[in-house]
Amino acid sequence: MTTIPPIVSIDDLAIYPDAVLADVRWYLDGTDGRSVYESGHLPGAIFIDLERDLVAPATGGAAGRHPLPEPEAFAASMSSHGIGDDSVVIAYDDTGGMSAGRLVVMLRMLGRNAALLDGGIGLWKGALMTGPGAISDQLEFTPCQWPLDRLATEDDVATMCKSGHGLLLDARATERFTGEVTQIDPRPGHIPGAASAPWAANLDPTTKRFHAAADLRERFNDLGVSASDNVVTYCGSGVSACMNILALEQAGLPPARLYVASFSGWSADPDRPVELGPGR
């Protein structure tokens, strides 16, 4: 049972002295996250490679760019990094959570204690460590199936599009949602009927900290969350959409399901419709 809140502050680190600090910096432009980690990371933090530790080998097509790893592979990866069944994990990056949120959501889905460090490395006032970091002792991480009630499939999303029942939240930047910019995705635009809900709008643009829970609640309710009993969030490949999942939980709203393949999977299927423009 998860007991740690989804988002913790720098000051809260003192409450969790034995927590595993996980650096999950990753960049869409191909910048090497490990090199960035080795140039300076929080003391004692381990490096989690999003492409190696948090995704299965991509096969393309409807599976999207970042499919979830098999449970056994994910468990082995966590174990090798010194994360066990009873570990508390606090993850961070340098964007406010765009990539670190993926690890947090994956662990919380499985009932593990994991949280996002609010504001990330940019708010750390102490000295940073350099180098590859210490080698972690392996701990037992029991493989668990991904909970189906927390995930949405392509067919689930297609049914939502046809029926008009439910709420799709697109976490990509507005210009990708409208189709003005095509970045990596096979086609421009968004899934029909989706609402634009950029992940970055959950954060203060200066501090990269999450807005207050009441403000997050107002934001999502304005998008229609309170009027829907079926909320699904997606992005380009199931990474930044995790920020909306965490923000919804922080706001005290019911959990959203993650469409892991997201628009990279949806738009790769020529039979799936897309929309251009501002949407709903």
Catalytic positions are: 235
Tell me how far apart the alpha carbons of residues 28 and 143 are, in angstroms, rounded to a whole number. Answer: 29
The token pair at 221 is 């309710």
* HEC profile of the chain: CCCCCCEECCHHHHHCCCCEEEECCCCCCCCCHHHHHHHCECCCCEECCHHHHCCCCCCCHHHCCCCCCCHHHHHHHHHHCCCCCCCEEEEECCCCCCCHHHHHHHHHHCCCEEEEECCHHHHCCCCCECCCCCCCCCCCCCCCCCCHHHECCHHHHHHHHHHCCCEEEECCCHHHHHCCCCCCCCCCCECCCCEECCHHHHECCCCCCECCHHHHHHHHHHCCHHHCCCEEEECCCCCCHHHHHHHHHHCCCCCCEECCCHHHHHCCCCCCCCECCCCC
Tell me how far apart the alpha carbons of residues 97 and 239 are, in angstroms, rounded to a whole number. Answer: 10
Tell me how far apart the alpha carbons of residues 236 and 215 are, in angstroms, rounded to a whole number. Answer: 25
Q: Is 248 left (phi over 0), alpha (psi -120 to 50) or beta?
A: alpha
The token pair at 130 is 């350099």
